[in-house]
Structure 1
Amino acid sequence: MIEVTGGRLRYSVGGTRKTAVFDGLTGFKGTDVLISPRVQGFGNEVVFSLTIEPADEMVLDELSLEIPVRLSSEDRVYVNGFQGWTESREFDPAESLKGVRAAARPLLGPYGDYAFHRYSGRSGNPHGWTYTYVRRGRECVFVGSLSEAAGYTLFVYDARAGMLRVAKDCAGVRMQSPVVAFQLYMASGSEEDVFRGYFEQLGTPSRPRPRPCSGWTSWYNYYTRISEDIVLANLDALASRGIPIDYFQVDDGYENAVGDWLVANHKFPRGMKPIADEVKARGYKAGLWLAPFVCEKGSIVFREHPEWLLRDARGRLVRAGFNPNWSGVFYALDFYNPAVRSYLARVFDTVLNAWGFDMVKLDFLYAVALIHRDGRPRGQVMTEAMDFLRKAAGDRVILGCGVPLGPAFGRVDYCRVGSDVALTWEDRFLRWLGYRERVSTANALRSVIGRWQLNGNVFGSDPDVFILRSEGNRLSADQRYTLFLLNHVFGTLVFTSDDISAYSTQELEMYLSQFPVVEKRIHRVERSGGVVHVEFTIEERRYEVFANLEAREGVAELGPGVYFGEDGFAPGGARINLRPYQSKCFLRAGEDAFSVVGSTGHLFPGCEVSRIAVDGSDIVIEYHERARRRCDVYVGVPEGEDSYRVNGETVVPERVLGMRVIRARKGGSR
């Protein structure tokens, strides 16, 4: 049974500092404040809420709860990073979590929680935000916030004391009316059950379930060096080859400066509407990048509207970060300034209606809530800002990026769940600095895997791009395939920035193997050493992926049954040897007659096939309209017929690991 045993409120009234210690069931009643807990449910699943009612205005210093949690060396503690880019994964209870080094904090501090949470650096003292769990084998003890509108929810473990402290990010916030400070879902049970309960209790705003989609974005190849010619050349490379992507998105580099969203620079002489028109004329949906809550020094906004910039209590501009691609330091806008809201509303109306873009990628969103505002804690500011963006975008698609995830739940269609990937596996210097939001392929994949449960439940996950091209790419062949495979396993929106006209034959074949992009249901994710084991289904087909994320060799073992992978058929129980950074995907052969038991044309074998029709010994295999590769398809058949007519050709069954299998050939134009 999981329960809140007590808590503490530290506050000031009239300049006098006070502390109220309260019980988790009975709360606290004093002359200054009434603290009222409420528990709904019983046993393994409860919703705990806590209301604070001040008698007069008070200034909050600390509000925290205590939940006893005994940790053993076999347990794993999940740490959800502050925002989408922040490292998020399961920790050993004895691990330490250290923040960015002091020398780097002025430049890197705004991207994470370094400015308002003190990292102890002690063993057994990790912390995370919005939700957490302790995993014991396949069982979990779970605690998750149902709302961040009263402040971000912080979870701090103390392994030695056997305690989980749950706190609100509220230091310095003025309160003068009742507030429901905590709304927590607490449960114990299987990983699947506790997350299902959490998502049901969240009651996220109603949006259509995000569908799997693919696309192209300009950033990870051209960065700010894009031009109209480059964009249209990549568009032509995709369209002329009949590549069935969904979105074609122009990223940073088209605007006059960051903040000047309605003024295209000289590299886009016709403006942005003709770009959107050409994208849609080729049958794709058009996307555009915006960072609505920041501006750089070189922008018209910074120069002509200094009153739009956010300032702290001492009147200083609030720095939102440092970007060498821009004017260096960049700054947050004051979201509560009516003129800023009016400007942003005009930006969205122009981009979506006048220019005709179908999707907006909204980046650096954390910047809107770097400080508390007018009695509003950071979490409330972020929540209200996300509500504003959702309303401004209407029914168009939002891809959120660089945003604390809780306020994004149900308010964006797709959301980044890891850091930016890189043309290398890891940035050792930034890792040494303790920068948890660093651009790093390894860092991105760890978080994407760590947040797998969110995908399809609160938004569609964006794992960031895959990079298959050779030019300028220092990822090894195994690392490229691992990134490509895991992005498709864990992501709903999967893009690349590669110029596909420059692909080698092998690179193009791998790229085409993603089509059709399909929906997956993950059932289990396990980690053993550096090897990640994923079990999932696509329709009725069952798959297993083994991914080695380490520089040393890895070993895994197939479960019972017969499997099909890149090397053909393999028996259950077979040992899987993995090179450093290598991954392998296997289809488990089904027992139903006339089902696909293997294929060579799709990243996930069998997904090329849309339907198999059987009439006696005549078989018709229909292929998905988006399948693009020539391939062999293997179908299991029952005992009886000596031969079959498959799409008009005679095929004799073969015996493979106890199965009768026929092989059919799918043609293609590429």
Structure 2
Amino acid sequence: MEWIVSKGKKELKIQLKNPDVLFESWKIQYIYSIQNESINRIQSLPVTAIGKKKITCIINDDNLQISVVLTNEEGHIAIKYTIDNLSEENLILDKIITSIGRFSIPKTENYHVFKNGYQSWSLTRSYSFDEKEMASWLPCMNILQDNPRNLPSGQQGSFNSTMFTAIGSEHSSFCVIGQGRPFNLYVYINAFTNNNIIHLDFIHDFCNMIVSPSLKIRADLIYLITNKNINEAFDWYFALTRSQTPLRRKLIKGWCSWYYYYTKIDEKSIYHNLDVLKSKAKRFDVFQIDDGYQTAVGDWLSINNKFPGGLAPIARKVRTMGMIPGIWLAPFIASRKSMLYQHHPDWFLHDSDGKPVNAGWNPNWDIFGYFYALDTTHPEFQEYIKGVINTFVHEWGFGYLKLDFVYAASLCGKAYDMTLTSAQRLKLGYTLIRDVAGDRVFILGCGAPLSASIGHVDGMRIGPDVAPYWMARYRYYITRDPHALCTKFAIRSILNRSQMHRYLWLNDPDCIMLRQTETKLSKEERMTLINAVIITGGMYFISDNLSLLKNEDWKLIESIDELIKICSLEKSYPVDIMECEMPEIIYNTGGYIAFFNFSNSSKKKIVQLKGLLKQIISPTSKLIDVWGNREIYVYSDHIDLGELKPHDSILCKIK
């Protein structure tokens, strides 16, 4: 990558070439405290050395030194940070913010920005700069689904992203700005406009980490990547940040109890579904029990009276049927009615008043369903959670662990060991569990901050919960919750995060529901969820009372199996990812393409052949509707899909 660097009296200016991107007016803000004195300073980034491939900038404060080194590497710019405590006292480090006073891509007017949410359930989509990004007015919703340390401002043209973002236009080029290894921090890349000028902040969040005297720490890298093709730019970024732990090749297919039984699951229902599988001579890879077996959240080994025989016999039965038994647990939270909460208040993170840190509210657990964040650095809690995992895996026989609500380990608060960042506390929790469970156990992260989970989970939930309804209208409009769990918003994240698959982990898009009764989803909506799961090629679980499925549903499962086997080993590209909230064209290099109508009305769908589409589809191509077994007409410059009903979709084979 070519760059042009200039050093003025007060600012650094970097221009990347081919394609052109400009970064001007670099500043550093550092926020820390020492001996009860709070320090918050901003200064221009002082350049101490400029070379052909390297720029060195050093900031000297009375108590610390910050070194920022930019290197021009093949295909990208890497920014490396080192922080050195020069004092003789402990330093409490809050944030380091790198500000870009002016960001621009020449010959670009209608910029779009891609926001990646903080954790599994967080909103992820693209915006234009004349839009607003909103947060819920309910604090418990923001704790549960977003990052209270980096909430949206609600102002027009202001967007907060975590781990990575992208800015640009299909008419010119794009720049991806993203966090690199070792993922020991949470990094926010925030973009906002002022007088039509785009400003950027790269925020390293140390979350009041204690830095001891003379200690030197390396903060996570920042990458700058430019490309005229946004999908290629994202591929480049995910290749740079890919998991260094070998990923499992085999895709996971399973059954989950949650979206039919919810917390009303019981032993009888579990055995009933196993009997249905046996009668049909069918099996999945994983058969997973979800929430509802425990007496209280946090008391994982205390099984309620709905499971009089306990969990071990169920796990044995599942294994005799050739499947892996799976179990749900939320290892880093406990409800206030749990024995753990009542007997071990010191095992929790605490706020400035000494109270346990609130991790959210869940009415599934009771109307006063508040729960609290556990401290993964506390030695006694560490022994407790290791004992829980040992029992589940080695005594009861579970080989698949769905770890839920894990963001709680990263909530800010006073921990037993404050020398770790909030991200490191989550990584420590994962390590405790993996060390006991072993490498053969499949670990799924859910409600999980993305960056800190890389290399620690085998699969990752990449969106909010699906639901047996399309849109959570009351929750969305009354609470102003942009993450509101519903099938529509689950699909939004499934498509927007599809390129992470097999780079960072196996994508888990959440479950599909095939039942035609006891659901508010229309046939078109059920098939749109199925098509989204197929074309993106991730894991897939079915969550139905299996006795409700008809013969046609079992045949559909066989077809889904065959299609996902092909798409899972290939790459998926949301062609219009930067142009709309919910991409409507997804191409899979296995030779499939899906088209969606997410509007609330029927549409005559005409797709123009441009950009990536022009490369993969020609006028001589044939598009065969997979489910309708009809040919879609391809013309010299467009595709005529005919009329699509509301929330409908078409999955096509390219020939």
TM-score scaled by structure 2? 0.84
User: Any idea what the Cα deviations from partners look like across 1:172-215, whole Å, max 9, x if unmatched?
Assistant: 44333222224112111233443343334325332233422211
Q: Could you tell me which amino acid in structure 1 is paired with residue 118 of structure 2? A: F
Q: Could you tell me which amino acid in structure 2 is paired with residue 440 of structure 1? A: C
- In structure 1, how many angstroms separate the alpha carbons of the residues matched to 2:220 and 2:535? 34
Q: Could you tell me which amino acid in structure 2 is paired with residue 553 of structure 1? A: S
1:9 aligned residue: 30
1:518 pairs, out of 550, 565, 572, with 565
Judged with a 3 Å threshold, the aligned counterparts in structure 2 of structure 1 residues 459 and 394 are, in CA distance, closer, same or farther, namely: same
User: Any idea what the Cα deviations from partners look like across 1:229-256, whole Å, max 9, x if unmatched?
Assistant: 1001111212321334211101111122
State how 1:199-238 maps to structure 2 within 5 Å. 199-202=238-241, 204-238=243-277
Cα offset, 1:20, TM superposition:
4.7
1:320 aligned residue: 359
1:388 aligned residue: 432
2:51 aligned residue: none
Q: Could you tell me which amino acid in structure 1 is paired with residue 398 of structure 2? A: F
Are 1:251 and 2:290 matched, yes or no?
A: yes
Give yes or no for contact 1:131–1:144 (8 Å, CA) kept in 2.
yes
Cα offset, 1:390, TM superposition:
2.8
Are 1:340 and 2:405 matched, yes or no?
A: no
- In structure 1, how many angstroms separate the alpha carbons of the residues matched to 2:339 and 2:276? 35
3-state DSSP of counterpart to 2:464: coil
Are 1:430 and 2:475 matched, yes or no?
A: yes
Q: Could you tell me which amino acid in structure 1 is paired with residue 427 of structure 2? A: T
State how 1:116-195 maps to structure 2 within 5 Å. 116-137=149-170, 139-147=173-181, 149-160=183-194, 161-170=197-206, 172-176=208-212, 177-189=215-227, 190-195=229-234
1:621 aligned residue: none
Q: Could you tell me which amino acid in structure 1 is paired with residue 97 of structure 2? A: S
Cα offset, 1:114, TM superposition:
5.3
Q: Could you tell me which amino acid in structure 1 is paired with residue 32 of structure 2? A: Y
3-state DSSP of counterpart to 1:233: helix
Give yes or no for contact 1:548–1:581 (8 Å, CA) kept in 2.
yes
State how 1:234-633 maps to structure 2 within 5 Å. 234-327=273-366, 328-372=369-413, 373=415, 374-395=418-439, 396-432=441-477, 433-516=479-562, 517-520=564-567, 521-527=570-576, 532-538=584-590, 542-554=591-603, 555-557=605-607, 559-560=617-618, 561-565=621-625, 566-573=628-635, 574-576=639-641, 577-589=643-655
2:121 pairs, out of 75, 78, 85, with 85
Judged with a 3 Å threshold, the aligned counterparts in structure 2 of structure 1 residues 114 and 200 are, in CA distance, closer, same or farther, namely: closer
Judged with a 3 Å threshold, the aligned counterparts in structure 2 of structure 1 residues 391 and 196 are, in CA distance, closer, same or farther, namely: farther
3-state DSSP of counterpart to 1:515: helix
Moved more, 150-159 or 280-289: 150-159
Moved more, 150-159 or 8-17: 8-17
Aligned alpha-carbon RMSD (Å) = 2.3
Judged with a 3 Å threshold, the aligned counterparts in structure 2 of structure 1 residues 343 and 279 are, in CA distance, closer, same or farther, namely: same
Are 1:40 and 2:71 matched, yes or no?
A: yes
1:19 aligned residue: 41
Q: Could you tell me which amino acid in structure 2 is paired with residue 473 of structure 1? A: T
- In structure 1, how many angstroms separate the alpha carbons of the residues matched to 2:343 and 2:73? 58
Q: Could you tell me which amino acid in structure 2 is paired with residue 280 of structure 1? A: R
Are 1:96 and 2:132 matched, yes or no?
A: yes
Judged with a 3 Å threshold, the aligned counterparts in structure 2 of structure 1 residues 46 and 114 are, in CA distance, closer, same or farther, namely: closer
Cα offset, 1:319, TM superposition:
1.4
- In structure 1, how many angstroms separate the alpha carbons of the residues matched to 2:292 and 2:165? 37
3-state DSSP of counterpart to 1:575: strand
1:110 aligned residue: 143
- In structure 2, how many angstroms separate the alpha carbons of the residues matched to 1:114 and 1:411? 20
- In structure 2, how many angstroms separate the alpha carbons of the residues matched to 1:500 and 1:362? 24
Moved more, 303-312 or 325-334: 303-312
Runs of 5+ unmatched residues, structure 1: 590-670
Cα offset, 1:17, TM superposition:
2.8
- In structure 2, how many angstroms separate the alpha carbons of the residues matched to 1:294 and 1:129? 23
3-state DSSP of counterpart to 1:26: strand
Judged with a 3 Å threshold, the aligned counterparts in structure 2 of structure 1 residues 445 and 310 are, in CA distance, closer, same or farther, namely: same
3-state DSSP of counterpart to 1:108: helix
Q: Could you tell me which amino acid in structure 2 is paired with residue 217 of structure 1? A: C
1:50 aligned residue: 81
Moved more, 502-511 or 360-369: 502-511
Give yes or no for contact 1:111–1:437 (8 Å, CA) kept in 2.
no
Cα offset, 1:150, TM superposition:
4.3
Cα offset, 1:141, TM superposition:
0.6
- In structure 2, how many angstroms separate the alpha carbons of the residues matched to 1:392 and 1:329? 29
Judged with a 3 Å threshold, the aligned counterparts in structure 2 of structure 1 residues 97 and 531 are, in CA distance, closer, same or farther, namely: closer
- In structure 1, how many angstroms separate the alpha carbons of the residues matched to 2:421 and 2:331? 20
Moved more, 373-382 or 409-418: 373-382
Give yes or no for contact 1:549–1:582 (8 Å, CA) kept in 2.
yes
Q: Could you tell me which amino acid in structure 2 is paired with residue 132 of structure 1? A: T
Give yes or no for contact 2:498–2:573 (8 Å, CA) kept in 1.
no
Judged with a 3 Å threshold, the aligned counterparts in structure 2 of structure 1 residues 134 and 512 are, in CA distance, closer, same or farther, namely: same
User: Any idea what the Cα deviations from partners look like across 1:58-112, whole Å, max 9, x if unmatched?
Assistant: 33354111244227553321101111101101111221111111xx21x323213
- In structure 1, how many angstroms separate the alpha carbons of the residues matched to 2:132 and 2:385? 41
Q: Which has the larger radius of gyration?
A: 1
- In structure 2, how many angstroms separate the alpha carbons of the residues matched to 1:500 and 1:537? 33
- In structure 2, how many angstroms separate the alpha carbons of the residues matched to 1:332 and 1:224? 21
Q: Could you tell me which amino acid in structure 2 is paired with residue 535 of structure 1? A: Y
Q: Could you tell me which amino acid in structure 2 is paired with residue 548 of structure 1? A: N
Give yes or no for contact 1:95–1:126 (8 Å, CA) kept in 2.
no
3-state DSSP of counterpart to 2:226: strand
TM-score scaled by structure 1? 0.82
- In structure 2, how many angstroms separate the alpha carbons of the residues matched to 1:108 and 1:61? 24
Are 1:74 and 2:110 matched, yes or no?
A: yes
User: Any idea what the Cα deviations from partners look like across 1:624-666, whole Å, max 9, x if unmatched?
Assistant: xxxxxxxxxxxxxxxxxxxxxxxxxxxxxxxxxxxxxxxxxxx
Q: Could you tell me which amino acid in structure 2 is paired with residue 63 of structure 1? A: I
- In structure 2, how many angstroms separate the alpha carbons of the residues matched to 1:400 and 1:377? 19
Give yes or no for contact 1:146–1:183 (8 Å, CA) kept in 2.
yes
Judged with a 3 Å threshold, the aligned counterparts in structure 2 of structure 1 residues 50 and 503 are, in CA distance, closer, same or farther, namely: same
Cα offset, 1:382, TM superposition:
2.2
- In structure 2, how many angstroms separate the alpha carbons of the residues matched to 1:134 and 1:553? 32
- In structure 2, how many angstroms separate the alpha carbons of the residues matched to 1:456 and 1:519? 14
Q: Could you tell me which amino acid in structure 1 is paired with residue 565 of structure 2? A: V
